[in-house]
Amino acid sequence: MSGLIDLSASQAAAAIKRGEVDPGALFDLYRQRAATDSLNAYTWVAEQAPKAPPQPSLGGVPLAVKDLFCTEGVPSQSGSRILEGYRPPYTATVVERLAQAGAPLLGKTNQDEFAMGSSNENSAFGPVLNPWDRARVPGGSSGGSAAAVAAGLAPWAIGTDTGGSIRQPAALCGIVGLKPTYGAVSRYGMIAFASSLDQAGPLTRDVSDAALLLSHMVGERDPLDATSLDFPEPIAMPSRRTLAGIRLGVPSELTGEGIEPGVLGAFQATLELARQLGATVESCALPHAPHALAAYYVLAPAECSSNLARFDGVRYGYRAADPDDLLSMYERTRHDGFGVEVRRRVMLGTYVLSSGYYEAYYGRAQRVRTKIAADFAAAFERFDFVVMPTSPCVAFELGSKLADPYAMYLNDFLSVPASLAGIPALSIPNGLASPPGGGTPLPVGFQLAGPAFSESQMLDVAFALEQALGFDGRAVRS
């Protein structure tokens, strides 16, 4: 049966449709693997396959789902102690749509608490280990989804990306991760981190799987999410072999300082490969991109400080025992229920919104956001896509960045510009590179960002690069 593990999700779906693979057997195989997971990638695994809808287009290929997606009757804690034992009475729109399309829920995956983190170390369930090197982090916040897909504990997975939470762990685990255009995928039922930035997307072994999964996540807008949008056209399956006529812009601000030499080397090698495939590769400017991280660390904490106010010990989840009064119930519940990083961001967000500081921080950050979106819009007049590394570093050692919050935040500086602009961005495996001190080579990500709703074309270009790169991630799926 181990041959089944080597099938990509699209291949498995096709094999099921041809009658060569039994979807029940496929589910059981992955269920077994997930249940014996030693990476701490899962927080919950299904007992058995749910009853499949008739003739599902995804055939019944099971799906790993980040903990923060609400799933009816199934633990959904967003990696937090404050939601201890919480089982929602409803299911997130995107999980429901995928189940209807034939991607049944395999299990819930570990994540940084409330999606705040870049290492998956901020989880009430403990850290996830990187299957390439178990002493290292898988990235975050969708670390469980990324590790599960990389290690063959799931055929594919969904996660969420606020400032890089799909792309960065995908890069660090050697898989594909796509953050769609803001609004393309319903946020209904996604436990919010930062509402104006959160977006669900696929984490998959290859570009074709990403396209197939995405095609069932987008479509008609969700009437339950006021910010969701109709996707203008169906997602096309990628097939491109060359890059003739494709113009790639390389922003100098995001391809120089602060990036590990190994990561930069792999990036430049792939630019050369793109040229060989026929692409035009030229440098471009995103003048405000260096300020994106600062703006992001105002906007996201501000929104999270408000989004997380509902965790008050009144209606669900954890409540501190024997409170003296209402105030102490609130304060102790939230102290004990939230982890250190969440508390830090709630404090930061409360501070920047508080009386007298709004305009200096939140107001300015929103204006920086306008400038960043304008920078991208200008770049897309000359280029089809802007490309840069996904993460400035390969997977780092567990615990190595916990002492300095800002050092951890710096992991996001290549991914947050596209988040602030609300545009789609994709990370594909870009080979391996050794960490700065030397050692076993680890996965690197190559990132593309495109105009809103350019997902099909972006996946098509990524497919051509993927085929030419020929990355093999099978080693960690044993």
Partner 1 sequence: MTPDFEPVIGLEIHVQLKTRTKMFCGCELSFGAPPNTLTCPVCLGLPGALPVANARAIHFALMIGLALGCELADHSVFHRKNYFYPDLPKGYQISQYDEPLCRGGELAGVRLHRVHLEEDAAKLIHLGASGRIHGSEQSIVDFNRGGTPLVEIVTEPELRSGEHAREWLSLLRATLRSLGVSDVNMEEGSLRADANVSLRPAGSTPLGTKTELKNMNSFRFLERGVTAEIERQRAIIEGGGEVAQETLHFDPASGALTTLRSKEEAHDYRYFPEPDLVPIATTAEMLEQARAAIGELPAARAVRFERDFGLSAEMAHLLAFRSDLGDYFEAANAASAADSGHAQQLANWVSGQLVARIGEQDPATSNVTPAALATLVELVSARELTNGTAREVLDVLLQSGGDPRAIVAERGLASLSDDSELAAIVAAAIAADPDAAAKVRAGNAKAIAALIGPVMRETRGRADGSEVTKLIREQLGV
Partner 2 sequence: MIDRDTVLHVARLARLELTDGEVERMVGELGGVLEHIETIAQLDLDGVPPTTHVVEVANALREDEPRASLSRQQALAGAPAVADEGFAVPSPQA
Binding mask 192-221 for partner 1 (x = CB under 8 A): x-xxx-------------------------
Tell which positions 357-386 bind partner 1, by CB under 8 A.
358, 362
CB 180, min distance to partner 2, A: 12
328 binds partner 2 (CB under 8 A): yes
Residue 325 contacts partner 1 per CB under 8 A: yes
Per rule CB under 8 A, is residue 149 in the interface with partner 2?
A: no
Quick check: 244 binds partner 1 (CB under 8 A)?
Answer: no
Residue 330 lies near partner 1 (rule: CB under 8 A): yes
Residue number with CB closer to partner 2 (244 or 340): 340
Residues 80-119 that bind partner 2 (CB under 8 A): 85-87, 89
Comparing CA positions, the residue from 145, 3, 11 lying closest to residue 79 is 145
In the range 74-113, which residues lie near partner 1 by CB under 8 A? 76, 78, 83, 86, 88-90, 92
Tell me, by CB under 8 A, how many residues bind partner 1: 50
* Contacts to partner 1 from residues 295-324, by CB under 8 A: 302-303, 305-306, 308-312, 314-316, 322-324
Nearer to partner 2, 367 or 474 (CB): 367
| 369 near partner 2, rule: CB under 8 A | yes
Q: Which of residues 243-302 bind partner 2 (CB under 8 A)?
A: 288, 291, 293-295, 297-298
Is 17 a binding residue for partner 2 by CB under 8 A? The answer is no
Please choose, out of 181-189, 209-217, 248-256, 427-435, the segment that lies near partner 1 by the rule CB under 8 A: 181-189
Q: Does 470 bind partner 2 (CB under 8 A)?
A: no
3-state secondary structure the chain: CHHHHCCCHHHHHHHHHCCCCCHHHHHHHHHHHHHCCCCCCEEEECCCCCCCCCCCCCCCCCEEEECCECECCECCCCCCHHHCCCCCCCCCHHHHHHHHHCCCEEEEECCCHHHCCCCCCCCCCCCCCECCECCECCCCCCHHHHHHHHCCCCCEEEEEECCCCCHHHHHHHCCEEEECCCCCCCCCCECCCCCCCCEEEEEECCHHHHHHHHHCCCCCCCCCCCCCCCCCCCCCCCCCCCCCCCEEEEEHHHCCCCCCHHHHHHHHHHHHHHHHCCCEEEEECCCCHHHHHHHHHHHHHHHHHHHHHHCCCCCCCCCCCCCCCHHHHHHHHHHHHCCHHHHHHHHHHHHHHCCCCHHHHHHHHHHHHHHHHHHHHHHHHHCCEEEEECCCCCCCECCCCCCCHHHHHHHHCCCHHHHHHCCCEEEEEEEEECCCCCCCCEEEEEEEECCCCCHHHHHHHHHHHHHHHCCCCHHHHC
Determine, following the binding rule CB under 8 A, whether residue 312 of this chain makes contact with partner 2.
yes
Q: Rounded to whole angstroms, how far apart are CA atoms 47 and 395?
A: 32
> Which of the residues are catalytic?
66, 141, 165
> Of 165-194, which residues contact partner 2 (CB under 8 A)?
182-183
Residue with the two structure tokens 């990389």: 150
Q: How far is the CB of 426 from partner 2 (least distance, A)?
A: 18
> Minimum CB separation from partner 1 for residue 191, in Å?
4
Q: Residue 30: which of partner 2, partner 1, none does it interact with, CB under 5 to 8 A by kind?
A: none
In the set 100, 366, 400, 434, which binds partner 2 (CB under 8 A)? 366
Q: Does the protein bind partner 2 through residue 315 (CB under 8 A)?
A: yes
Interface residue with partner 1, options 33, 136, 179, 187 (CB under 8 A): 187
**Residues of the shown chain interacting with partner 1 in the complex, contacts defined by CB under 8 A:** 68-70, 76, 78, 83, 86, 88-90, 92, 187-192, 194-196, 223-227, 302-303, 305-306, 308-312, 314-316, 322-327, 330, 350, 353-355, 358, 362
